[in-house]
Amino acid sequence: MRAHQNPSKNTIKLSCKNIWKVYGDDPDQFFTSGNGAVANAHAHADQITKDNHIVANADVSFDVHVGEIFVIMGLSGSGKSTIVRCLSRLVEPTAGEVMLDGEDLLRKTESELIEIRRHKMGMVFQSFGLLPHLNVIDNIAFPLKLQGVAENERYAQAERVIELVGLQGRENNFPKELSGGQQQRVGIARSLAVEPDVWFLDEPFSALDPLIRKQMQDEFLRIQSVLHKSIVFITHDFHEALRIADRMAIMRDGGIVQIGRPVDLIMRPVDDYVREFTRDVPWESILRAADIVESHQGSVSGMKKISGDTLIESLLPYLAEHESGVAVEDENGAIMGVVTARGVVAALAAGCDVDIADADTAD
């Protein structure tokens, strides 16, 4: 198990079950009393399409644990933006249920929902969604202003999150005076100003240049390492998903194709669609020692010992020098086996055909 995966995360923060979103003249006709559980989701979706309705989400279910980064990855039109809007009820799901802290979000009244959004949820948007007529600090303090928080107090709070995202000195600038990266920092700061538990990020870095994007991903991971929010992160970039996800879901045609840890998806793609994404993944930066460990008879006393969490790419120089390989320990210090240069080459060459016996135990 990986070090940055905290074992205490197993409480479910947010979950959705059998979510359907159908657009058209009369979407409700396809579901009895908002129940999204159908026997064959595929067949049902086909039927809906045949009736001239558009299926944006089909039978989507997943859980987001406390402190977890859950990434939803899909190409454009796959329904990923709709699902995150269903979770925040920006879009009303046609059927299914959304549970936040064990309470059904879809049963909440308009005013209860406003309260929840004011205190429990934060959202970051692809094109930032900043208010053009407010400067940086007023944009960030805007959610607090809506709640009626006094000016001094909300500026103090805004100042704290400005520091968190590293925008000090920009307080009086207007959005159009900032670069894309800076604008998104404002968006992030605004979504954090109310100290939400659940944090939605809808393709937050897609509008940015590749270099800035990388930098923002690092920044995001740093912020998360401090705040431990429960996160739903939408992206169309598979590599971005791999970098930041604790767990991820791949969506296609409104439905979920596969859910799992990045390494699960890479090593055991459920179908060709997922496999297609994994094809040009740099394996050495995904696979960890524990994933390709070989059983070893005899003593490992002379060998260097590493954690099972170590990325293969960082072992390459050492393996080039030491033919016998390195010993791999689990987090309790017990020897799991060894990783050898031959084993690495075999794993990289074979792609998904590696021995995955130990991957099962990881979850």
Partner 1 sequence: MPLKIDRGLMHWLGVIAVTLVCIAIQGDISWMKAYPKSLVVPFSDWMNTGMQWFIDQFGAIFLAIATLLEWPIKGVQWVLHALPWIVCTFLFCLVSYIASGWRLAIFTLFAALYIVVLGYWDESMNSLSLVAISVPLAIFVGFVFGVWGFYSDRAERIIMPTLDILQTVPAFAYLLPILMLFGFGTTVGLIASLLYSFPPMVRNTIVGLRGVPSEIVESGIMSGATPAQLFWQVRMPTASKQILLGVNQATMASLSMVIIASIIGGTADIGWEVLSTIRKAQFGESILAGIVIAFMAMIMDRITSGLATQSAEYNRKQQTLFARYRYWIIAAAGTVTFLLLAKLIPAFQEWPRDLQFSPAKIMNEGLTYVVVNFREEIESIKKFAFFYFMLPTKIGLQQAVSPFTWGFELKLVHSLGYAVMMVAIACWCARRWNNQVAIGVLLFAIFFYFGLTNLPWPALLLIYTVAAWKVSGPYLAVGTLLGLGFLVVTGVWPQAMLSLYLCSIAVIISFLFGTAIGIWAAHNDRVSAIVRPINDTMQTMPLFVILIPFVMLFKIGDFTALLAIIAYSFVPAIRYGEHGLRNLPEGVLEAATMVGCTKSQLLWQVKIPLALPVMMLGLNQTIMYGIAMLVIAALVGTNGLGQTVYIGLSDGDFGVGMIAGIGMAIIAIIADRMTQAWSKKRQAELGISV
The Cα diameter of the chain in Å comes to 72
Binding status of residue 123 toward partner 1 by CB under 8 A: yes
Which helix or strand (DSSP H or E) is residue 306 part of? strand 305-307
Min separation Cβ 52 and partner 1, Å = 20
Q: In the set 20, 31, 62, 128, which binds partner 1 (CB under 8 A)?
A: 128
Nearer to partner 1, 22 or 116 (CB): 116
Pick the stretch among 30-38, 47-55, 120-128, 221-229 that binds partner 1 (CB under 8 A): 120-128
| CA 304/CA 317 separation, integer angstroms | 13
Strand blocks (E) in 47-89? 54-65, 69-74
Report whether 174 contacts 135 (CB < 8 A): yes
Q: Which of residues 293-332 bind partner 1 (CB under 8 A)?
A: none
Binding status of residue 127 toward partner 1 by CB under 8 A: yes
| CA 222/CA 125 separation, integer angstroms | 19
Residue 22 CB neighbours (<10 A) = 24
Q: Which of residues 89-108 bind partner 1 (CB under 8 A)?
A: 90
Q: In the set 6, 12, 142, 318, which binds partner 1 (CB under 8 A)?
A: 142
The residue with tokens 């320990």 is 329
- Cβ-Cβ contacts under 8 Å for 282 (sequence gap 6 or more): 313
| CA 97/CA 251 separation, integer angstroms | 19
Binding status of residue 135 toward partner 1 by CB under 8 A: yes
Binding status of residue 149 toward partner 1 by CB under 8 A: no
Binding status of residue 143 toward partner 1 by CB under 8 A: yes
Binding status of residue 130 toward partner 1 by CB under 8 A: yes
Nearer to partner 1, 115 or 218 (CB): 115
Binding status of residue 129 toward partner 1 by CB under 8 A: yes
Q: What are phi and psi of 91, to 5 degrees?
A: -120, 135
Binding status of residue 49 toward partner 1 by CB under 8 A: no
Residue 334 CB neighbours (<10 A) = 9
Q: Which of residues 177-196 bind partner 1 (CB under 8 A)?
A: 187, 190-191, 194
- 107-114: long-range contacts at Cβ-Cβ below 8 A with a sequence spacing of 24 or more? 113/89
Binding status of residue 156 toward partner 1 by CB under 8 A: no
Pick the stretch among 3-11, 85-93, 217-225, 235-243 that binds partner 1 (CB under 8 A): 85-93
Min separation Cβ 32 and partner 1, Å = 29
| CA 199/CA 111 separation, integer angstroms | 20
Total residues contacting partner 1 by CB under 8 A comes to 35
Binding status of residue 115 toward partner 1 by CB under 8 A: yes
Nearer to partner 1, 135 or 310 (CB): 135
- Cβ-Cβ contacts under 8 Å for 284 (sequence gap 6 or more): 311, 312, 313, 316, 344, 348
Binding site for partner 1 (CB under 8 A): 85, 88, 90, 111, 114-115, 117-119, 121-123, 125-135, 142-143, 145-147, 172, 174, 187, 190-191, 194, 200
